[in-house]
Amino acid sequence: GLAERKPPRVKLAEWITGRHNPYFAKAAVNRIWGQLMGQGLIEPVDDIRESNPPSHPELLQELSADFAASGFDLTRLYRAICLSDAYQRTSERTQSDPSRPELFASMSIKALSQDQFYDSFAEAVGRPTRDKSYRIDRKLDLAANEQGNQPKMTVTAALASMNGAAVREAVSQTSARLHKTLEAFPKSADRQVDELYLATLSRYPTNEERRMMAEHCASASAADRMRRLGDVFWVLLNSAEFRWNH
């Protein structure tokens, strides 16, 4: 009877998300691939049609089939893409011509979202990301929605990044990260620099970076060491490598 019939919207939702509907899985996979890689297998990501074929049809089919078979397990899909060679490639260009991003020969650099930047900044400066009393300047949005091959930010965001209250606190005499670094390695400028690079860029400095930064710190008096280390931290927090993914 009529009472047993499902509402049309429910029936439509069940059809859209059904495992035998190839379009839903393909659209979801393509959008998430584009989110992580900076470019969809079909581009634009929301323009899926016969006359706009994917750059890698076999890959899209394989990921879509696995995504549907898993019951649309997003964690499994994210893990598969992030563990791939394509995702883990460097963004450093190996050729002078970057005109074919659809080949995924190198990773596209992408602006961090507002939430990603907030958590990254809080982690780098040693503040709990769930600390509701801690607020980063809204101007530190850092052009989160912009895409491109070169880091871009507004003048207002740049000034906030260089001189905003959150950054001033992070590199000041009361900085949690700087105090922790000095307490852990009180006599080694090299280790102090290493610690700040790991906290911000998740890598060790190159030999040249370590030499330059350590010389800047080591040449200071004991009373001035905190300020010199704050200079290094300021440079790292304002670097494009910290502000952008890959």
Give how far Cα 126 sits from Cα of 11, 15, 89, 171, Å. 49, 47, 29, 11
Nearest in space to 246 (alpha carbons), one of 36, 49, 79: 36
Q: What is the mean pLDDT of the chain?
A: 82
Per-residue pLDDT, averaged over 200-229, amounts to 91
Q: Is residue 176 predicted with pLDDT exceeding 50?
A: yes
Residue % of the chain over a pLDDT of 90: 43
Per-residue pLDDT, averaged over 124-142, amounts to 58
Q: What is the CA radius of gyration of the chain?
A: 23
- Among 51-65, 92-106, 190-204, 209-223, the range scoring the smallest mean pLDDT is 92-106
Phi, psi of 165 (to 5 degrees): -60, -40
Contact residues for 131 (Cβ-Cβ < 8 A; gap 6+): 122
Asked if the bond preceding 44 is cis, omega within 30° of 0, the reply is yes
Q: What tens digit of pLDDT does each residue of 79-119 get? A: 999 999 999 888 776 665 555 777 888 888 777 777 788 88
What does the pLDDT read at residue 2? 47
Q: Are strands 110-111 and 244-245 parallel, antiparallel or unpaired?
A: antiparallel
What does the pLDDT read at residue 114? 76
pTM above 0.85, yes or no: no
Ramachandran quadrant class, 151 (left: phi over 0; alpha: psi -120 to 50; beta: rest)? beta
Element (H, E) at 122: helix 114-125
Two tokens at 57? Answer: 């049809």
What does the pLDDT read at residue 193? 96
Neighbours of 153 (CB within 10 A): 21
Nearest in space to 212 (alpha carbons), one of 183, 189, 195, 230: 189
Q: What tens digit of pLDDT does each residue of 12-48 get? A: 888 888 878 888 999 999 999 999 988 899 999 999 9
What does the pLDDT read at residue 244? 83
Residue % of the chain over a pLDDT of 70: 80
What does the pLDDT read at residue 152? 53
Contact residues for 91 (Cβ-Cβ < 8 A; gap 6+): 106, 107, 108, 109, 246
Q: Which CB contacts under 8 angstroms, 24+ apart, belong to 75-78? A: 77/28, 77/29, 77/32, 78/32, 78/36
